[in-house]
Structure 1
């Protein structure tokens, strides 16, 4: 099987005591353009947004390094 592409958007908000937490569950997209469009929309109302992608091989469960597609505001470091 050929590698697949995982494309995800994660948005963050700040709690009353200033901690950065996910605003929503991570959202998966079929295209990078769709993910970037959603990330830009969320950036208007969230403390931070990150859209990223990575190659994945479902046959052996391996993942390539993440590539940031869009980043705005405060987001945690990618591990």
Structure 2
């Protein structure tokens, strides 16, 4: 069986944003996790016509160790906050 340290998991996520009454960006939906970058990009493109902003990203992760690699943007449209 493979060790999580040698084969980290990949998080592939889409987050969409809308604007609150005060103009601040707020999540439009809960973050959505996908199995492939293509699925995430397809959903992000779909949401981009409905939301103030949307971003799809991927990163390697070892959640049990609390370790996350830097995010790689797959798709970005509109207004989105900076990723950490």
TM range (shorter): over 0.9
- Shift in Å, 1:8: 0.3
Query: Do structure 1's residue 38 and structure 2's residue 29 form an aligned pair?
Result: no
In structure 1, distance between residues paired with 2:14 and 2:38: 11
In structure 2, distance between residues paired with 1:59 and 1:76: 26
Mark the structure with the bigger radius of gyration.
2
- Shift in Å, 1:60: 2.7
In structure 2, runs of 5+ residues without a counterpart are none
**1:24 paired residue number:** 29
In structure 1, runs of 5+ residues without a counterpart are none
In structure 2, distance between residues paired with 1:75 and 1:36: 15
Residues matched between the structures, number: 79
**2:56 paired residue number:** 51
TM-score of the aligned structures, taking structure 2 as reference length: 0.88
Residues 31-57 of structure 1 deviation map (CA, whole Å, 9 limit, x = unaligned): 000000000000010000000010012
Pairwise CA RMSD: 1.1
Query: Do structure 1's residue 60 and structure 2's residue 65 form an aligned pair?
Result: yes
